[in-house]
Amino acid sequence: MTKTTPSIIIADDHPLLLKGLSDFLIEKGFNLLGSGKDGREAYNLIIQNEPDIAILDIQMPYMSGLEIAQKCKSIDIETKIVLITLHKEKELYQKAQELNLFGYILKEFALEEIENCIKTVTDGVPFFSEKIKELIGVVLMEDNDLKTLTPSEKKILKLIAQDKTNKEIASQLFISYRTVEKHRSNIITKLNIEPKTNSLLIWAKEHHEKLL
């Protein structure tokens, strides 16, 4: 790893954030090659410049930060990708392993943390915010429960989250209404849900993001 200033491109669909980040990096003397306001622009910037680091928002029009990371991996671009987002996205932790993600920071973090992150990543060391790590712990627990579900059970859980009744689910899956009930029962047992009347519906609603 050379000791020259790393080249960087950034992308964010929030003009204010983009400006803030851009100004900050320039002031700090980083080698900012360019910035994009959506996923397409970001992707083009990356394949044209092959920067050392790309700091990308997760949610952007046309292409998300994750999609960009995926494509970059598939075409063997060595750009280190740092995701930046407002939300503590729980699903992220797994994908971070699969893709060549090198960092994940929250927008509300201090500017110094960004500088810190860039330096760390430049040395080839992944950087994840502390708060993210906490989340990962929690999510891992919950996901362990989820993983014990069979495919059918997951499918039914999804449908429950979509406000379907047992009968609707049954006819949709061409199985008996009783079978659906049995699955429900098994799901409740596996997920250690309190045995209240609508507890499964409530659970499904609260965790419906994880069922996608």
Partner DNA sequence: CGAAAATTACGTGTTACCACGTATTTCATA
Partner DNA sequence: TATGAAATACGTGGTAACACGTAATTTTCG
Q: Which of 1, 16, 141, 212 touches its own copies (CB under 8 A)? A: 16
**Helix, strand or coil for residue 126?**
coil
DSSP count for the chain of H helices, then E strands: 10, 6
CA–chain centroid gap for 203, Å, is: 21
CB closer to DNA out of 106 and 173: 173
State yes or no: residue 165 binds its own copies (CB under 8 A): yes
3-class SS at 8? strand
Structure tokens at 95: 């994908």
Q: Which does 119 bind (CB under 5 to 8 A by kind): its own copies, DNA, none?
A: none
Contacting range for DNA; rule: CB under 7 A; set: 93-101, 120-128, 137-145, 168-176: 168-176
Residues in 23-52 at the binding interface with its own copies, rule: CB under 8 A: 23-24
Closest distance between DNA and the C-beta of residue 140, in Å?
20
* Among 67, 179, 210, 211, contact with DNA (rule: CB under 7 A): 179
Q: Is 150 in the site for DNA (CB under 7 A)?
A: yes
Alpha carbon 70 to chain centroid, angstroms: 12
Which of 152, 171, 208, 211 forms a contact with DNA (CB under 7 A)? 152
Helix H or strand E encompassing 54: strand 53-57
Give which of its own copies, DNA, none residue 189 binds (C-beta under 5 to 8 Å, depending on kind).
DNA
The order of strands in the sheet holding 127-128 is 31-36, 7-11, 53-57, 80-85, 101-106, 127-128
Residues contacting its own copies: total by CB under 8 A: 27
DSSP 3-state of 64: coil
Asked if 73 is part of the footprint of its own copies (rule: CB under 8 A), the reply reads: no
In contact, 184 and 192? CB cutoff 8 Å? no
Using CB under 8 A, which of the segments 43-51, 95-103, 142-150, 190-198 binds its own copies?
A: 190-198
